[in-house]
A and B are shown apart, each in its own frame.
Chain A
Amino acid sequence: MQIDLRTVAIEPRRQTFDHLARRFGDKPASRYQEGSYDIQAEENLHYRPTWDPDQEIYDKSITRIVMADWHALKDPRQYYYNTWTVARARQQETTEANFSFVESRGLADSLSEALKATTLKVLAPLRHAAWGANMNNSFICGYGYAAIFTQAAMFQAMDNLGIAQYLSRLGLLLGDTAALEAGKADWLHGAAWQPLRHYVEDTFMVRDPFELFVAQNAALDGLLYPLIYGRIVDDHLSPQGASAVAMLTQFMSDWSVESQKWVDAVLKTAAAESEHNRALLREWAARWSERAASALLPVVGLALGDQASAAVAEEMAAFKARLGKTGIQI
């Protein structure tokens, strides 16, 4: 049985703001819509940037991708600040519980030395790769167009930072500060890591925010996460007794699956806009994913040895299939 309280009913004069009524009709707008559409200035930009007078303060032409309406790039997760923070806070609680579980039961110490060494060898340097991703997504937010697209990039940047910090905590838990020091030394000088570091440093030179989106969020992270957290942690380390590591990296696995939904939706919408966009995305995705695969191969080899080539090839095929669904055949 339903009970309805009575409240004083007042007829609203309008349901929503004009800019939302033009897009969706005069009906109540969701908080995602209110917080995401048309909130960046578009007209009468006063001055050209002194840091690059060829650009406008908000400039659609910084990227070669062309959209009639950049607000088409909506986020299927409908993340605005509130929904993003609340979702991450929940995941944070789980991660915290996982860390305490592992710590309180001494699970880290029960890992064999060999397993622990492999885990640290692969995961510790990755905190620097996540930091590179953070820089790149901060760029995409800063120079991309339209809040609906750029806010999601900022959330991604902060997620990247969170991941870098979880990886650091994992390193501290399994191997103390020495593990982080060794990881950094590997990142800077270890042979297996140099192609990946080179890749990341090259992305710092990309100043087309959409190409950077492809290079970082689609190509690199599209291969890195399934390879590291799927192939290595879940499929290779866990069965040998390192399920504690899977617990400590659950955030990364969940996050990767979730954030791919956003990446795919953005790619799909941009590709569907025009042949020009599709061709460009194809070229970028092919070039960067090819390179990401070869940069990741020696890293994967640290754990999988001679199985690495097959694993990378399979994940590359899966990545191509995934991209194919967005209308980008590479």
Chain B
Amino acid sequence: MLGFAALYPTYGLIWKWNKRKENEMDMKADKKKLGLKEKYKLLTRDLGWEPTHHSIDTVFPYVKYEGIKVHDWGKWEDPFRLTMDAYWKYQAEKERKYYAIIDAHAQNNGHLHITDARYLSALKIFLQAISPGEYAAGKGFARLGREFPGVGTRVACQMQAIDEIRHAQTQIHAMSNYNKYYNGFHAFAEARDRMWYCSLPRSFFDDAMSAGPFEFMIAIGFSFEYVLTNLLFVPFMSGAAYNGDMSTVTFGFSAQSDEARHMTLGLECIKFMLEQDPDNLPIVQRWIDKWFWRGFRILGVVGTMMDYMLPKRVMSWREAFEIYGAGNGGALFNDLARYGIRLPLEWNDAVKALDHMTHQLNLGLYQWSFGTAFHTGIPSEEDMAWLTKKYPTTFDKYYRPRWEHIKKLKAAGKPFVNTGLAKLCQVCQIPTPYTEPDDPNTLCLRETEYKGEIYHFCSDGCQRIFNDEPEKYIQAALPMPQLFQAPLNGDIGVWMDWVGLRNGTDNGDYDGSEDQRNFAAWRATATSNQ
């Protein structure tokens, strides 16, 4: 597993490189001996100065309106000390290795070595929903790289900005070869802007991008990178490793040390805010509450991938949350308790959802799969036995019977398709598939009236987020209402063209799909003499 501790050896390399250079510098006996920290200071924050021709407030206009008080940017502790020469050297080594491997993967039909082509649904979702978010994060960090008055803070943000560009590009490059042979990858750019389920991550990243610089740091730097990265990154990349996807797992290994830097930046930033002024605590806590819940909603998709889409599974979503969420996250919040930070408000709702969330979401994806640019499917007997084992208190009781019913419908030639349009949550944009935290037989629905309109939510968490900032969330671009407006006017065929979805090849059940047929046929040519 790519646990957090495992990310550290790479730091050793950077440290050694800096150390070596430091020694070289020190060989001249008449030079004043500079410590690594002192030298890094000269190479970064000493570059800045206080402008005199314009007030600091006009040079950095966005840094006060959120209410965060900073008295001394000099107190910022650089989370990592990486100068550009070391960055180039170290990153270029990783890049060379990475592209050598994905070139070899493409050249040798590496796609035939995956466990099964149904695994690719996870990658399709990743490319449509997550890679564009990497790019957005890069853009956001470039803004922070300009807008924070602290020099050390800006440098750290700028490094994350180019790293995120790297991640978006390497992911696209890793998946480019799959796109040549399999359906569902080809229209990821349209999907990012127009596909209904992509509005879930899009609204998440747009929410962060439209927030002020400090909230962006909490949203992306802290909640996403620090609290949730292990839950997103580790399952995805381990899933790739377990399923023979050499190109994606290589991306994972190559990005590990970048992610480690991003995590330390997120943690440093939150500590900095909390140490600067006690008035910052309630603001930071509100953001942690908000972004934990928004992030948790995104992770529902990751959990569903772990439980339902991987032919060879790494661990269940529940187990992953226990280790990385409750374990690491719990320890983190214990650590932050000395600043007065408590667990996010909806932490308990998240824990209660563990045994239900992925099953409910996957049932939703299955019935709406005519409208997804990835395949879903009915779990096999073996899959269901695994789910029973991993979810002993809920799977057989609530979810197996539904799959058995769906299986019967399919066998009778009437597969279950829901062409009705779901009610979307105004905040997280999920089509409200989840049940009440304490009652798995009742759908969880909330509503708020604001300025004469009724707004719907999937949970207390999303309703609370709306109520805190209604003027923001009433602007949400909701895909379902859009379908009924011009130019789509409720026409599903027109909608499919508009989102780049090819009916009959990109969507529907994996069983009987072109991907399934092609994969079987190609593998036969590669492994036999037929």
Q: Which residues of A pack against B, CB within 8 Å?
A: 7-8, 10, 12-19, 29, 31, 34-35, 38-52, 57-58, 80-82, 85-86, 88-93, 95-96, 100, 103, 127-128, 130-131, 134-136, 138-139, 141-143, 147, 150-151, 154-155, 157-159, 161-162, 164-166, 168-169, 172, 176-177, 180, 184, 187-188, 197-198, 201-202, 204-205
Cβ of A50 and Cβ of B88 under 8 Å apart? no
- Mark each residue of chain B from 147 to 173: 1 if its CB lies under 8 Å from any CB of chain A, else 0: 100010011001101100110111011
A15, A50, A58, A184, most chain B CB atoms within 10 A: A50
Task: Using known A-B contacts A14-B186, A41-B202, determine if residue A46 contacts B477 with beta carbons closer than 8 Å.
Answer: yes
Q: Is B442 an interface residue (CB 8 A)?
A: no
| Beta-carbon nearest neighbor of A15 in chain B | B180
Q: Which residues of B pack against A, CB within 8 Å?
A: 24-25, 27-28, 31-32, 34, 42-44, 46-49, 51-54, 58-59, 62, 65, 83-85, 87-89, 91-93, 95-96, 99, 107-109, 131-132, 135-136, 138-140, 142-147, 151, 154-155, 158-159, 161-162, 165-166, 168-170, 172-173, 176, 179-183, 185-190, 192-194, 199, 202-203, 206-207, 209-213, 472-473, 475-477, 479, 482, 500, 518, 522, 525-526
Complex CA distance for A302 and B83, rounded to whole angstroms = 30
Residues of chain A within 8 A of B32, CB atoms compared: 176-177
Complex CA distance for A205 and B93, rounded to whole angstroms = 38
Cβ of B47 and Cβ of A46 under 8 Å apart? no
Residues of chain A within 8 A of B151, CB atoms compared: 131
Contact of B161 among A52, A96, A154, A184 (CB under 8 A): A154
Complex CA distance for A204 and B92, rounded to whole angstroms = 32
Min C-beta distance of A181 to chain B, whole Å = 9
Cβ of A13 and Cβ of B180 under 8 Å apart? yes
24 A-B pairs whose Cβ atoms sit less than 8 Å apart in the complex: A10-B525, A12-B180, A17-B188, A17-B189, A18-B186, A19-B190, A34-B172, A35-B168, A38-B189, A39-B131, A41-B192, A41-B202, A44-B194, A48-B475, A49-B209, A51-B212, A88-B92, A89-B91, A103-B28, A130-B47, A142-B140, A147-B135, A154-B161, A157-B142
Residues of chain B within 8 A of A136, CB atoms compared: 146
Cβ of A158 and Cβ of B158 under 8 Å apart? yes
Cβ of B193 and Cβ of A204 under 8 Å apart? no
Cβ of A165 and Cβ of B162 under 8 Å apart? no
Please give me the 7 A-B residue pairs with the lowest Cβ-Cβ distance, nearest first.
A89-B92, A162-B84, A142-B143, A35-B169, A131-B47, A12-B180, A142-B142
Cβ of B136 and Cβ of A41 under 8 Å apart? yes
- With A34-B169, A88-B84 known, 9 other A-B pairs at CB within 8 A are A12-B181, A18-B186, A29-B176, A35-B172, A45-B477, A58-B139, A81-B165, A164-B43, A172-B31
Complex CA distance for A287 and B188, rounded to whole angstroms = 43
Cβ of A34 and Cβ of B53 under 8 Å apart? no
Task: Using known A-B contacts A41-B132, A46-B206, A103-B28, determine if residue A168 contacts B89 with beta carbons closer than 8 Å.
Answer: no
Min C-beta distance of A18 to chain B, whole Å = 5
Complex CA distance for A151 and B185, rounded to whole angstroms = 23
Complex CA distance for A13 and B178, rounded to whole angstroms = 10
Task: Using known A-B contacts A10-B525, A34-B176, A187-B49, determine if residue A51 contacts B189 with beta carbons closer than 8 Å.
Answer: no
Min C-beta distance of B183 to chain A, whole Å = 8
Residues of chain B within 8 A of A100, CB atoms compared: 24
Task: Using known A-B contacts A39-B135, A44-B194, determine if residue A141 contacts B161 with beta carbons closer than 8 Å.
Answer: yes
Cβ of B88 and Cβ of A85 under 8 Å apart? yes
Contact of B49 among A15, A50, A188 (CB under 8 A): A188
Min C-beta distance of A74 to chain B, whole Å = 15
Residues of chain A within 8 A of B475, CB atoms compared: 46-48
Cβ of B109 and Cβ of A81 under 8 Å apart? no
Cβ of A165 and Cβ of B169 under 8 Å apart? no
Complex CA distance for A103 and B23, rounded to whole angstroms = 12
Interface majority SS on B: helix, strand, loop or mixed?
Answer: helix
Cβ of A31 and Cβ of B24 under 8 Å apart? no
Min C-beta distance of B209 to chain A, whole Å = 5
Residues of chain B within 8 A of A8, CB atoms compared: 109, 525-526
Residues of chain A within 8 A of B84, CB atoms compared: 88, 92, 158-159, 161-162, 165
Residues of chain A within 8 A of B52, CB atoms compared: 188, 201
Complex CA distance for A48 and B206, rounded to whole angstroms = 9
Residues of chain A within 8 A of B140, CB atoms compared: 142
Interface majority SS on A: helix, strand, loop or mixed?
Answer: helix
Residues of chain B within 8 A of A169, CB atoms compared: 43
Cβ of B46 and Cβ of A184 under 8 Å apart? yes
| Beta-carbon nearest neighbor of A10 in chain B | B522
Contact of A201 among B31, B53, B88, B188 (CB under 8 A): B53
Complex CA distance for A184 and B151, rounded to whole angstroms = 15
Complex CA distance for A50 and B88, rounded to whole angstroms = 35
Task: Using known A-B contacts A50-B211, A201-B51, determine if residue A142 contacts B139 with beta carbons closer than 8 Å.
Answer: yes
Complex CA distance for A157 and B42, rounded to whole angstroms = 18
Task: Using known A-B contacts A46-B477, A50-B212, A89-B89, determine if residue A7 contacts B109 with beta carbons closer than 8 Å.
Answer: yes
Cβ of A162 and Cβ of B88 under 8 Å apart? yes
Complex CA distance for A47 and B204, rounded to whole angstroms = 10
Complex CA distance for A10 and B190, rounded to whole angstroms = 27
Complex CA distance for A95 and B194, rounded to whole angstroms = 47
Complex CA distance for A169 and B21, rounded to whole angstroms = 11
Residues of chain A within 8 A of B180, CB atoms compared: 12-16
A14, A42, A81, A155, most chain B CB atoms within 10 A: A81
Complex CA distance for A176 and B28, rounded to whole angstroms = 11
| Beta-carbon nearest neighbor of B216 in chain A | A51
Residues of chain A within 8 A of B46, CB atoms compared: 168, 180, 184
Cβ of B146 and Cβ of A165 under 8 Å apart? no
Residues of chain B within 8 A of A103, CB atoms compared: 24-25, 27-28
Cβ of B202 and Cβ of A46 under 8 Å apart? yes
| Beta-carbon nearest neighbor of B182 in chain A | A13
Cβ of B34 and Cβ of A177 under 8 Å apart? yes
A88, A184, A197, most chain B CB atoms within 10 A: A88
| Beta-carbon nearest neighbor of B143 in chain A | A142
Cβ of A164 and Cβ of B206 under 8 Å apart? no
Complex CA distance for A166 and B43, rounded to whole angstroms = 8
B135, B146, B500, most chain A CB atoms within 10 A: B146
Cβ of B173 and Cβ of A35 under 8 Å apart? yes
Cβ of B190 and Cβ of A18 under 8 Å apart? yes
Residues of chain A within 8 A of B193, CB atoms compared: 41-44
Complex CA distance for A300 and B53, rounded to whole angstroms = 23
